[in-house]
Amino acid sequence: MDPGGARVLAAGPHSPSLRMWASKAGISRYSVPPSISSRTWATMNETRGSSGSSSGSEGSKDSSRCSTPGLDPERHERLREKMRRRMEAGDKWFSLEFFPPRTAEGAANLLAMFDEMAAGGPLFIDVTWHPAGNPGSDKETSSMMIASTAVNYCGLETMLHMSCCQQSPEEITGHLNKAKQLGIKNILALRGDPTGDQWDAEDGAFDYATDMVKHIRREFGDYFDICVAGYPKGHPEAGSFEEDLRHLKEKVSAGADFIITQLFFEADTFLHFVKACKEIGITCPILPGIFPIQSYSSMRQLVKLSKLEVPQEIKDVIEPIKDNDAAICSYGIELAVNLCQELLASGVVPGLHFYTLNRKMATTMVLKRLGMWNEDPRRPLPWAISAHPKRREEDVRPIFWASRPKSYIYRTQDWNEFPNGRWGNSSSPAFGELKNYYLFYLKSKCPRQELLKMWGEELSSEESVFEVFERYLSGEPNQHGYKVTCLPWNDEPLAAETSLMKEQLLRVNRLGILTINSQPNVNGKPSSDPIVGWGPSGGYVFQKAYLEFFTSRETAQALLQVLKKYELRVNYHIVDVKGENITNAPELQPNAVTWGIFPGREIIQPTVVDPISFMFWKDEAFALWIEQWGKLYDEESPSRMIIRYIHDNYFLVNLVDNEFPQDNCLWQVVEDAFELLSRPAGRSREVEAP
């Protein structure tokens, strides 16, 4: 296309098909595997549920024959067991509290914060319960949905607050059943705040958190770990400090597993509280609630809600700087660090619980200064895990969703079991259809205007698109001065291992090989390697080189010619938007492209190229052109038509170099294809056999 002006091409209905190209290229194996025909997809979905979503129960049973010991023991432990193990080892932890936002945009931002804060290694997070915001609903800003998203899509151990205020026992049971179904295993049982000035008892309802704890244990047995609230200076409505302690002991005796306290300002307040608890027989873990002061207004609001008195010495510092949020925040961080250091030095504090107010800076700074922020570069698996109990054995996934793990979790959420040890026969899995690309946990974290600045307010040609991919890889600003920090297929920063292939990726993207997924070959790197390592210490990891990209019809045709030369070494799939597919891969057989060997364990192969899953992925991969890029522009605009042209005419290709001990040959495959394309028209474009 002419880069000097918009030149929009229509999809050519009479263009040569892949079948014709394969025939001309002398490739005998042209395959659209029968098990992925539309009829078979429908049949698989019917057998797994009438809703169109798929549980995959039969397939996952087949693929779970090998029960591999878990790489990460914490995935199999409940929260109270994690606490016990940490306490026995003398290992201090921290946890974080968040509240549901008011808007869908706020929900997306909070989800991004979960991913960022997860990097520091919290033992768990908790989400508050807001009765005025329909907290148990399916609304994206509800407490239930925010907690569910943290569990399922961010892989965080999560506790949901739940209050009995203005709720019948039946309503509470309904909320708890829903929480259980969504994979939430931990509940902070609260009475809740009255709607008026004082608490009014309701007939048939619970008056105290103790009643709620008893109800949970009666109806759900030991399924949930239960936390209750403690008040270091006594509950403001209690007749005395001693009376409040008796009520706290009742909650623990009813079945609570641990206590989190309300905020306080002086270490002696908490230490006195812990001593008093022990004296009356409370022996469960007690976590201090830490509130780093971040602004004058937030401090006043929280103190008002908790009915606490701020010590005079703190008032004396804050009042003169109350209009300077930066100064107050700096002071708040210093105050919190000193408080936490004193608490940790006492020897009676197993962990710290932070009230974040949905802000990360102050809490992160405090934790870093305490030496508790632990960004371990090693991953338990090469992909982001889910914390849903039914996925705790999952350790194998197709590589295609490597940069869209939340989408993969969404599309497999109705499976009853998950592959463990091996992927199994490829005819089994069926994926739920992805229709809504604008769910807050699936859409881009960047607002529309930022995406336009990165991807182009106006596109003039296909080459304009090539440049966006190139800028994403290079990290250099585009012609308007904006850095491209995401693509529709990858909403995150580039993986560290991309640096090992950066120059090669930049070159092929400039030529129109628009890469959306790749990995280098790895032959026995230590599992502790900061770039490609994963899994427990003392192991070794391996990878086959993998390259996945969109490219033009002409380049796909050249690749088919070139790939004859690499037939015994490179497996490939080439597919168009209609699903016409050519592959030399063994029918229905997955190809392991990542595996690891660890002391005392079987070989783990967490990533595969699976032909059936690829056909489900291709629908999503092609749709993202339109759903997340094309729809940024007006319907009939040249920019929209350029994206539509690529969607309709380009091909999705994946290549696997099976010879992982040797140098990656995939770059040479691409070079050979472009060398073939560059030959003069009169010169033969046949590829010589090796």
Which residues does the annotation mark as catalytic? 97
323 exposure class (CB count in 10 Å sphere: 0-12, 13-18, 19+): exposed
Sheet of 397-398: strands edge to edge? Answer: 397-398, 604-609, 591-597, 540-543, 522-526
Q: Which two tokens stand for residue 562?
A: 């070139």
Apex CA 579: angle with CA 428 and CA 587, to 5°?
Answer: 45
525-538: b (≥16 Cβ within 10 Å) or e: bebebeebbbbbee
Q: What is the DSSP letter of 327?
A: H
Q: What is the DSSP letter of 571?
A: E
The closest alpha carbon to 598, from 399, 375, 374, 380, belongs to: 380
Residues 6+ positions from 313 with CB-CB distance below 8 Å = none
- Amino acid found at 649: N
Show the tokens assigned to 327. Answer: 């100064």
The amino acid present at 360, given as its one-letter code, is K
In angstroms and rounded to an integer, the radius of gyration of the C-alpha atoms of the chain is 28
For 30, the enclosing helix (H) or strand (E) is none
Residue 561 CA: distances (Å) to CA of 17, 505, 565: 14, 22, 8
How far is 144 from 138, CA to CA, in rounded Å? Answer: 7
Report d(CA 337, CA 364) in Å as an integer. 11
Quickly list DSSP for 171-192: HHHHHHHHHHHTT--EEEEE--
Calpha distance 550→86 (Å, rounded): 47
What DSSP character marks residue 487?
B
β-partners of residue 450 are none
Q: Would you state the structure tokens that stand for residue 509, as one six-digit string?
A: 């993207």
For residues 290 and 500, what is the distance between their CA atoms, to the nearest angstrom? 42
CA 235: distance to chain centroid? 38
> Cα-Cα-Cα-Cα dihedral of 551, 552, 557, 562, to 10°?
-40
Burial label for 268, CB within 10 Å (0-12, 13-18, 19+), is: exposed
Look up residue 10 and give its amino acid: A
- Non-local CB neighbours of 626 within 8 Å, separated by 6+ positions: 643, 644, 647
Question: Nearest-5° angle of CA 344, CA 350, CA 353?
Answer: 85
Which residues have C-beta within 8 Å of that of residue 572, sequence separation ≥ 6? Answer: 559, 563, 583, 584, 585, 653, 654, 655, 656
CA distances from 1 to 452, 455, 472 (A): 22, 18, 22
Alpha helices in 51-191 (DSSP H): 57-62, 79-89, 104-118, 143-152, 169-181
Quote the CA–CA distance of 22 and 30 in Å, as a whole number: 7
In the chain, the amino acid numbered 164 is C
Contact 547, 497 (CB under 8 A): no
Specify the pairing of strand 397-398 against strand 514-519: unpaired
Identify whether the C-beta of residue 499 lies closer than 8 Å to the C-beta of residue 514: no
Could you tell me where the DSSP H helices lie in 307-380?
312-318, 325-345, 361-370
